[in-house]
Amino acid sequence: MQTLSQWIAIGRKYERWVLIALALLFLGSFCVLLRRFYLANSALAPSRGGTYIEGSVGEFQPLNPWFTVQNDVNRDIVSLVFSGLLRYNPETQKIEEDLATMRVSPDARIYTLTLKDDLYWHDSTENDPHPVTPEDVLFSLKMIQDLDFPNPLLRQNFEGVEVEKINERTVRFRLEQPYSFFPSNLTLGILPARAFAGVPVSRLRETIDFGLAPIGAGPYAFKSFVQTERSSEVTLERFPRPGDPPYYLERVILRIFPDYGSLLSDIRNLDGVRNVPRNDRGDPVIPRPFTLHQYVLPQYVALFFNLERPVLQDKKLRLGMQLGTDKQRVVDTIRESIIVDTPLLEIDTSDWRYHFDPEAAQGALFESNWHLPEKLRLQKLLERAEANDTGPLHMESVVLLDTGAVLTITGSLTIAGTGARLNGAPLERHPTLSGAWIAALATASATGSLQIGDNIVRLTKPDGTVIDSAYIWRTTNNALYRQAVEEERLVALFLRSRSNNTPPEERITVSDLILERGMLRRRLATDPRDIRVNEAGELLSLTLVTSPSPDSYGKVAEEIQKQWRELGVHVVVEIPDTPQEFEQRLLKRDYDILLFGQSLLDNLDSYPYWHSSGMQKLDAGAANLRLDAYNLSQYASQRSDTLLETIRETSNEKERVGALKELREVLAADVPSIFLYSPLYTFGISQEVSGVLLGKLSLHSDRFLTLNRWYLKEERTLKSGISWWSFFRWLVP
């Protein structure tokens, strides 16, 4: 047995290892507690760093914010490289400061913009600083206002605007008339004056060197453009600016593919995909790991009536075509979902919802100048029925009489008097009825004989004055007789239906009838719809023109053609082969109806599209056709013009909303167009990208206006008010 001294000796031998073990145990416990403290009192937060790579389909062109109207790919790049004095905020849906702060005069005619401090262009260096100055602002505006400026549509935004330099940081814009939407014009990117020294205004679009190495003052600077076998790549790098919110992404690479198939082949290397297409089922075509953000822009697709065409000046016709357009079928055809009923997208229309109403459509068309052949036949029969039911002369309106037979008719002598005649034949006293006359109308050749088909029978006085007239239709064919009797029955049923003197399930309208071999019968589900005609016998045939792209326009046009065929409107769909051909037809207003889309941008200003000043002056000659004539319906209304001017000029929100609501009713009553839908777009983003919040976009590129929130990396930091010294308080509650 070991003694105590032996145990002590053994302990001394291992005491160092025991102490080490105890120390390690203490240190491990301390680290566990420290980690628990850190996790309990910290949170994950976005961290700077990382490269965001996005793919899109399109074509890269030299970059200039003044010439990107038709190129969404360029808009994306321009929105990051260039900045305007102001910017649109998709979260608040308001125009806010960017490079400058703004003051507006009470009459909304003077806008004073003060540049922020320490703003520099992307080419600025320590040895060659290049600050943003009022001279750059004046250069940008003066160039745009020049008559030789190669973008007349943009020049129109600054017509009648005076700009002057106030001091080294401030410029002032003075408007001829109040214009509440003017701040939206100041979101346009400005350019450095010295980069265009010596360049004629007319050749600004040709500055290729600048376009391939642009210099802006936006949050990201252009780094490089590389053409690869698969795509074109534009690399942008973060450019810090004073006053900017923190941006987390250090680099943005925008890859531009020729088609969507090429993009999908490289999808694993992309963090985002702009404008994801949908398949025939309406599902986005993109791998599942991507989060999909759906959004609409302030756009609508509509059928614009060319109101200068005489046929379309009939408001009842336009109303009938609108009521007879099933918008749900239209959007289902192209897998869309957002139906619109008005171009005024900024106001609530929940109390004014369009409803497809075929019966009301037929009612409006019944009152128009264009009629179905059965309506004309019905109208004729109604007139005959009224004539036969009125006055002293009564007879069957349909008779079956062989040639040689006679039709005997009687009436009152009190009304006819002595010597009266019926179709030229003398009246005789009735042999059995006192005070009555009797006459026999022959069917062979004789005076007043009844012919095959329509006849007018007249009761006349001896001097030839007509006492009364009646219509009679004669046939020798039993089948035709039965058909005519059925027609008479349908006319009587129509009259009872119109006066609500028959049960609802038995009532008929003109749309329930069809003309066959000159007579009416009940319409069957398999019967085609006849084409409407006017009183001159002209067919109602209209030409519908639409753009060759997007493909959905062609599908919508075919659906409209089918629907309006049911209304009795013949539609010829014409799709020009090229965008250039379509543009020429658009400028010349060479269409009866135009299927096209319009965009209101961030200010939702409908003035250019519906004010009479936007009409194309066709009598001025082809050389003077205006590119900025956006009134595609050639719509002119003094009341709508006044309301549109009020909406533009007033700074009183209550007055503006009131004018919008009244304008909505004016456009609804005048029916210059049939508004169909707003396209739905899809933006795909990798699940590795966080902080993506699109807001209410006005352009596809507006998604980058919240890029400062996006991040790829995270780091854990202690919460506010917590430090490492707080560990000891946490350890001992």
Sequence-separated (6 or more) residues with CB below 8 Å from residue 167:
134
Would you kindly state where each structural domain of the chain is located, as residue ranges? Answer: 1-39, 41-60+220-297+681-733, 83-217, 299-338+540-678, 373-522
Sign of dihedral through CA atoms 708, 709, 715, 716? Answer: positive
Task: Identify the CA nearest to 359 among candidates 520, 239, 497.
Answer: 497
CA distance 171 to 158: 15
pLDDT at 516: 87
Q: What parts of the chain have a pLDDT lower than 70?
A: 1-16, 18, 26, 29-30, 32-34, 37-44, 68-70, 347-354, 446, 718, 723-733
pLDDT at 4: 59
CA distance 430 to 117: 114
pLDDT at 731: 63
Q: Is the distance from CB of 29 to CB of 229 less than 8 angstroms? A: no
What tokens were used for 692? Answer: 């993506």
- Which tens digits make up the pLDDT trace of 183-241? 999 999 999 999 988 888 888 888 888 888 999 999 999 999 999 888 999 999 999 99
Q: What is the largest CA-CA distance in the chain?
A: 166
Task: Identify the CA nearest to 236 among candidates 379, 78, 472, 93.
Answer: 78
CA distance 356 to 322: 8
Task: Kindly tell me the burial class for residue 173, based on how many C-beta atoms sit within 10 Å of its own C-beta (0-12, 13-18, 19 or more).
Answer: buried
What tokens were used for 34? Answer: 């420290």
For domain 41-60+220-297+681-733, which architecture applies? 3-Layer(aba) Sandwich (3.40)
CA distance 647 to 608: 12
Asked if the peptide bond before residue 550 counts as cis, ω within 30 degrees of 0, the response is yes
CA distance 685 to 692: 8
Q: Is the distance from CB of 292 to CB of 284 less than 8 angstroms? A: yes
Q: How far apart are the first and last CA of the chain?
A: 50
Using only C-alpha atoms, the chain has a radius of gyration, in whole angstroms, of 40
CA distances from 483 to 475, 492, 516, 528, 710 (A): 11, 14, 10, 20, 76
pLDDT at 701: 92
Task: Kindly tell me the burial class for residue 573, based on how many C-beta atoms sit within 10 Å of its own C-beta (0-12, 13-18, 19 or more).
Answer: middle
Task: Kindly tell me the burial class for residue 628, based on how many C-beta atoms sit within 10 Å of its own C-beta (0-12, 13-18, 19 or more).
Answer: middle
DSSP helix/strand/coil, 354? coil
pLDDT at 34: 66
Sign of dihedral through CA atoms 650, 651, 655, 659? Answer: positive
pLDDT at 236: 97
pLDDT at 199: 87
Centroid of chain to Cα 674: 10
What tokens were used for 714? Answer: 């995270």
Q: Is the distance from CB of 206 to CB of 66 less than 8 angstroms? A: no
Could you count the other beta carbons within 10 Å of the beta carbon of residue 384? 19
For domain 299-338+540-678, which architecture applies? Roll (3.10)
CA distances from 432 to 184, 365, 415, 436 (A): 94, 52, 18, 9
What tokens were used for 163? Answer: 């700009």
What tokens were used for 690? Answer: 């966080």
Q: Per-residue DSSP letters for 39-87?
A: HHTEEEEEES--EEEEEEES------TTS-TT-HHHHHHHHHH---SEE
Q: Is the distance from CB of 512 to CB of 522 less than 8 angstroms? A: yes
Centroid of chain to Cα 379: 39
Place of tokens 């703003």: 119
Q: Per-residue DSSP letters for 289-329?
A: TEEEEEEE-SEEEEEEE-TTSGGGG-HHHHHHHHHT--HHH
Q: Check: pTM over 0.85? Answer yes or no.
A: no
Sequence-separated (6 or more) residues with CB below 8 Å from residue 151:
66, 67, 69, 144, 205
For domain 83-217, which architecture applies? Alpha-Beta Complex (3.90)
Percentages of the chain per state (helix, strand, coil), in multiples of 5 = 35, 25, 40
Task: Kindly tell me the burial class for residue 481, based on how many C-beta atoms sit within 10 Å of its own C-beta (0-12, 13-18, 19 or more).
Answer: middle
Task: Identify the CA nearest to 317 among candidates 329, 306, 327.
Answer: 306
DSSP helix/strand/coil, 568? coil
Place of tokens 């795509």: 231
What tokens were used for 420? Answer: 């009266």
Same fold, 41-60+220-297+681-733 and 83-217: no
Q: What single-letter amino acid sits at 244?
A: D
What tokens were used for 621? Answer: 């000659």
CA distance 193 to 549: 37
- According to DSSP, residue 673 is labeled E
